[in-house]
Chains A and B, each alone.
Chain A
Amino acid sequence: MRIVEKRILAKGICLFVIEAPLIAKKAEPGQFVIVRHKENGERIPLTIADYNRDQGTITLVCHGIGKSTQEINQLNQGDSFLDVLGPLGLAMPIEKVGKVLCVAGGLGVAPMYPITRILKAAGNHIISIIGARSQEMLIMTEEMEAVSNQIHYCTDDGSFGHHGFVTDVLSQVLQEQEIDLVVAIGPLPMMAAVAKITKEFAVPTQVSLNALMVDGTGMCGGCRVTIGEKTKFACVDGPVFDAHQVNFAELLSRQNFYRDQEQAALHQCRIGVGR
């Protein structure tokens, strides 16, 4: 699966446009792929950030946090992913509901973009709230502006837009106007905070969960999440769920289970290349 375009969106965040005609033909907003970049590599789930059925391409955005994602970000235009499997998971159901708030933090803007685009095309009024640590870490702003009726920016350090979290702006917007649906994608603590606020306002809220996975096809159950009282597999039952039913604390601890091994792998990796 050849990379036809690579862009660096921010420090450590790369965008890849990949030739994957079959996946491009079937992809819907909310779905993801699993990639492997080399023979000994992990299977890494990445959300489909865009797709072009005519050109047969899909767009992936990767944040280099662990060893594998950092190695993926070393790939260049003309290189190939060894394996790309997808589209996986269920598409997010999209209908005209009225006013929709799209809240995205950090890398979450990438998967939010196609969802927002389709929500807009379905006739919804879109208010987007985009957050990042700082101005340099804000990604895909042009794309998001093109599909939003209104857009708010927030940075943790105040270098651009509101100085503070997306949840500050969220609360404000919810107080000022009637919102029919909130979609939130970003780091788990952000999505948990959004869910808490929108629950108070009783606004239906969808989140896209990035649980750890191996196969991505329902076979291993490593991605299980508690939704209401029930265990669901994020790969085949999600990844989009009703935010008010998600047990975020459990998911956060599950995401961090291999953190120490990840750190050790990264450390070794740096020793290996003499940096």
Chain B
Amino acid sequence: MRQAMPKQAAEERAQNFAEVALGYTLEQAIAEANRCLQCKRPLCVEGCPVHIDIPGFLKLLAEGNPIPALAKIKEQNSLPAICGRVCPQENQCEGRCVVGIKGDPIAIGNLERFVADYAREVGQEPVLTPAQSLDKKVAVIGSGPAGLAAAADLAQFGYQVTVFESLHAAGGVLRYGIPEFRLPKDIVQHEIDAISELGVEIVTNHLIGQTLTLDDLFEAGYSAIFIGTGAGLPNFLNIPGENLNGVYSANEFLTRVNLMKAYLPEYDTPIKVGQKVAVVGAGNVAMDAARTAKRLGAEEVRIVYRRSRQEMPARLEEIENAEEEGILFSLLTNPVEMIGDESNTVKVLRCQRMTLGEPDQSGRRNPVPVPNEYIDLSADTVIVAIGQGPNPVLLRGTEGLALTERGYIKVNDENLMTSIPGVFAAGDIVTGAATVIQAMGAGRKAASAIHAYLLEQEGN
């Protein structure tokens, strides 16, 4: 039997911002690790975007050695306490686990989290040291998952790495996007500190493209540049009334709460949530926004989604967590207009009923409007969580940087180099919005490519 993750009770946790999942005990972790069959050809490793030696770390843990188990993970993944919490393991390692064919797969994510937390709590973390020291500087733009993973690998190769972050705190989406109750910020800081200890310098309050350009960085002696800025421009619905007061992008709503800590009285940034909140969209970000609104005291929080339950892109675990916390779901419901009161504040989200038609390119059945069937949902706050596009700041400030038709950075598929020699890019700014671990995997791939590129330059 798979060990169940202990959690805060739903009614209790919906009132606080403390972490929902409480973590395994050592006994639970060892029992769970012992369920691993130690496959000769482990499919779980293939399913992992950064190819952690999963049977290897599970074996060490099963033998009662969580610290060496963490060292094994850290060979491939610089942010285990984060990935153990936010990776969609059901589609990756655990989705490929052989034990999962007939029963429940090994709880690989929970165990990754456990070993990282255990080592941190007992203060015995494996110390990583660079293989050598190379007299070359590499600049990393963006301190989100792609940037941090690239920076960690580049530092291990021996480069002098500087990470440039535009906000006042590092972490990107880990900092401003994912809420405290799913990913505590002191854990994020701890993992970032570990990367700093590798010798990586993190410089905040620098918006590359404005404060400094790529040319400035080359002039300052950086031999290569990695762009991992993410897809930071929120999409809106483009329906009437969307600029009414009380209408937030999920980015704004979550940034006010997570980065600026508007939920704590001693912080000055304001937020308003009201009694009734409608969150448009059904991805992980939408679930985060809905559950955050609930914790801020909203009476009724509702996910509004134009397709049906089967098509919701959020992780099943997050959907279940939201349901347990009392989040309502209005499915096959598509917003068409927002209507305000006399003070220009939203009060009604007008939606059209939808039905499912033929599958579209994504393989999901296409939502089709039902003629003349509308429903008015009352809402003091509407949060739009329907994805993001490429942020234009760096792109427009950089001559010669080729973009795709959708405005993302064009890279060579093999080595992730952009149209500018020595400039590499990976993560959401190349692929469009994806997951933390995919961005990390791409960042690591770019780090290796940069290493190869610089060795080749050296040779010439």
Q: Which residues from chain A sit less than 8 Å from chain B, CB to CB?
A: 22-23, 26, 36, 40-43, 67-68, 82-88, 214-215, 217-222, 224-226, 231, 236, 249-250, 253-254, 257-258, 261-262, 265
Contact = CB atoms under 8 A, between A and B. Distances in A.
A261 B272 contact: yes
Contacts of B242: 231
B243 A224 contact: yes
A218 B209 CA distance: 13
Contact of B211 (A87, A219, A226, A262): A87
B393 A250 contact: no
Interface string B255-270: 1100011000011111
Given A218-B391, A226-B243, A42 B252 contact: no
Contact of A219 (B234, B261, B267): B234
Most central of B249, B261, B268 by chain A CB within 10 Å: B268
A253 B392 contact: no
A221 B251 CA distance: 8
Contacts of A23: 211
Contact of A22 (B211, B252, B256): B211
Contact of A41 (B211, B212, B268, B393): B268
Contacts of A226: 243
A214 B255 contact: yes
Chain A facing B: main interface SS: mixed
B419 interface: no
Contacts of A254: 243, 245, 344
B270 A220 contact: no
B268 A218 contact: no
Interface of B: 166-168, 176, 204-207, 210-212, 232-234, 236, 238, 242-243, 245-246, 248-249, 251-252, 255-256, 260-261, 266-270, 272, 343-345, 391-393
Given A36-B168, A253-B343, A85 B255 contact: no
B260 to A, nearest CB: 7
B258 to A, nearest CB: 11
Contact of A220 (B211, B243, B251, B261): B251
A218 B205 contact: no
B322 to A, nearest CB: 23
B210 A88 contact: yes
Given A85-B168, A253-B245, A257-B245, A217 B207 contact: yes
B267 A40 contact: yes
B288 to A, nearest CB: 15
19 contacts: A42-B269, A83-B204, A83-B205, A84-B205, A85-B166, A85-B168, A87-B210, A87-B211, A214-B255, A214-B269, A220-B249, A220-B252, A224-B236, A226-B243, A231-B236, A236-B393, A253-B343, A253-B344, A257-B245
Given A40-B266, A231-B243, A253-B343, A86 B211 contact: yes
A71 to B, nearest CB: 9
Query: Which of B204, B246, B251, B345 has the most C-beta atoms of chain A within 10 angstroms of its own C-beta?
Result: B251
Given A22-B212, A85-B207, A86-B211, A250 B344 contact: yes
Contacts of B176: 215, 219
Contact of B392 (A214, A236, A262): A236
Contact of A217 (B248, B344, B391): B391
A220 B251 CA distance: 5
B211 A214 contact: no
A68 B261 CA distance: 15
B256 A214 contact: yes
Nearest to B209: A217
A257 B244 CA distance: 10
Given A26-B210, A85-B168, A258-B272, A222 B393 contact: no
Contacts of A87: 210-211
B255 A220 contact: yes
Contact of B205 (A85, A219, A222, A250): A85
Contact of A83 (B168, B232, B246): B168
A265 B249 CA distance: 25
Contacts of B252: 214, 220-222
Contacts of A236: 391-393
Contacts of B168: 36, 43, 82-83, 85
Nearest to A257: B245
A257 B272 contact: yes
A214 B345 CA distance: 19
A250 B243 contact: yes
**7 nearest A-B pairs in the assembled complex, by CB-CB distance:** A220-B252, A253-B344, A221-B249, A261-B270, A83-B168, A258-B270, A257-B245
A226 B242 CA distance: 10
Contact of B233 (A26, A86, A218, A258): A218
Contacts of B255: 214-215, 219-220
Contacts of A231: 236, 238, 242-243
Contacts of B266: 40
Contacts of B234: 219-221
A219 B232 contact: yes
